[in-house]
Amino acid sequence: MPERLSPVETAKRAAARRAADLVEPDMALGIGTGSTAYWLIRHLGERIASEGLRITGVPTSSQTAELASKAGIALVDLEAAGRLDLTIDGADEFDSALNLVKGGGGALLREKIVAAASDRMIVIADKSKHVETLGAFPLPVEVTSFGWQSTKAAIEDLLPGHDLLGDQITLRLDGEAPFVTDGGNLILDLHLKRIGDPRRLARDLNLIPGVVESGLFIGLCDTVVIGHGDGRTEIIGSANGIAPPGDADFPEPDNLFADLGD
């Protein structure tokens, strides 16, 4: 018998359900990657089955594409979809200005491209992801495999000029081998502890040859749906509100993305 959901999974599920209810018929939708996006895909599949909801989805990773296809979501690539109405994705951290740190699941480049091609971006997260200052979660930076050590050294030289509390940089691994993104790149995780000026750091990182993209999402998100362990949700950004607890506590199958970031 499946175990009942933990408070964190309950919060993720509640946020995902609230966001899924905001999806309108015939939308072109960017679908994120991660443990919270897993619940979004499940709820969209439920709406497709029960309501006949028609949407077109653009997945941000191969894992998302596989799950979304099984849920009955019609998928196309970004070129075929053109401009998207909405992207819904998770985040590893967000601040009160709705700046984000993303990339814990390794899909930050595609996630940022899809978000930038959307009219709106909604983030779904549990309340622990809301921070006063970004940086406690390691900042992912996607880099080319060619010359990655030189790119790492250039980032190390850059960091002392920024308002940070840490400077450790580690190459992300998949077991004993380097983690490789869907785009064939590597990820350096920057353990900064505090990012005093996210906009400036994002700009300066992207000026380094070999850096493909950073996990700082600045000016892309306009709404965050926060889930709580008792099933409540709240929306910050473009609207505000509290939803009733609903039916948050019940058995569910394992979240296949539970070990990934958002």
Distance CA 165, CA 129 (A): 19
Active site residue 111: yes
Distance CA 250, CA 261 (A): 23
91 appears as a binding residue in the annotation: yes
Pseudo-torsion of CA 145, 150, 155, 156, nearest 10°?
130
Cβ atoms of 155 and 251 within 8 Å: the answer is: no
36 appears as a binding residue in the annotation: yes
pLDDT tens for each residue of 129-173: 999 999 999 999 999 999 999 999 999 999 999 999 999 999 999
Cβ atoms of 60 and 114 within 8 Å: the answer is: yes
- Model-wide pTM > 0.75: yes
Task: Work out the number of other CB atoms within 10 angstroms of the CB of residue 228.
Answer: 19
Judgement on whether residues 57 and 124 belong to the same structural domain of the protein: yes
Judgement on whether residues 21 and 119 belong to the same structural domain of the protein: yes
Judgement on whether residues 225 and 124 belong to the same structural domain of the protein: yes
34 appears as a binding residue in the annotation: yes
Judgement on whether residues 24 and 97 belong to the same structural domain of the protein: yes
pLDDT at residue 53 in the model? 97
pLDDT at residue 182 in the model? 93
- Structural domains of the chain, count: 2
92 appears as a binding residue in the annotation: yes
102 appears as a binding residue in the annotation: yes
Q: Residue 71 maps to which CATH number?
A: 3.40.50.1360
> How large a percentage of the chain has pLDDT more than 70?
90
pLDDT tens for each residue of 110-135: 999 999 999 999 999 999 999 999 99
- In terms of residue numbers, what domain contains 70? 7-131+219-237
Q: Residue 189 maps to which CATH number?
A: 3.30.70.260
Q: Active site residue: 111, 142, 176, 213, which one?
A: 111
